[in-house]
């Protein structure tokens, strides 16, 4: 989970710098870094997080209303991850449509979700 979140925090930050870059060698360097992060670190981290999460959920029978909210947030994170892959493809083909300010705000989404998930697990309000 930590590996996946590290990527979810760092890839949009790379998008910020990539969107600000205007030199060809720098742009190519960002493309390589983004690809390696997404496919080499983030995606395996996501797959393992989901697999181990399912194992814990199904193996131990954890339940409660808080869990449904947490699972919904995990689905949002998966959608965020997939959208990062779409943005990665846009950058790869030089089709970026957003400025660095967009990516700065976009970068905050996983922080809010992580905070909410941790609070749900610790407090279990429902």
Q: What is the dihedral of CA 50, 52, 58, 62, to 10 degrees?
A: -90
Angstrom distance (rounded) from CA 10 to CA 111: 11
Handedness of CA 65, 67, 71, 76 (dihedral sign): positive
**Tokens in use for 125?**
């309000």
- Does this model's pTM top 0.85? My answer is yes
Residuewise pLDDT in 10s, the chain (126 residues): 999 999 999 999 999 999 999 999 999 999 999 999 999 999 999 999 999 989 988 888 777 788 889 899 999 999 999 999 999 999 999 999 999 999 999 999 999 999 999 998 899 887
């Amino acid at each position: 989970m930590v590996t996946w979140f590290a990527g979810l925090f760092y890839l949009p930050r790379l998008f910020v710098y990539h969107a600000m870059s205007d030199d060809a060698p720098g742009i190519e360097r960002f493309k390589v870094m983004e690809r390696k992060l997404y496919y080499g670190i983030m995606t395996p981290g996501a797959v393992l997080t989901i697999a181990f999460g399912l194992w814990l959920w199904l193996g131990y029978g954890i339940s409660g209303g808080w869990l449904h909210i947490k699972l919904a947030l995990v689905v949002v994170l998966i959608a965020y991850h997939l959208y990062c892959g779409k943005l990665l493809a846009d950058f790869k083909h030089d089709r970026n449509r957003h400025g660095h300010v967009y990516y700065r705000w976009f970068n905050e989404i996983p922080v809010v979700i992580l905070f909410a998930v941790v609070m749900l697990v610790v407090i279990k309000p429902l």
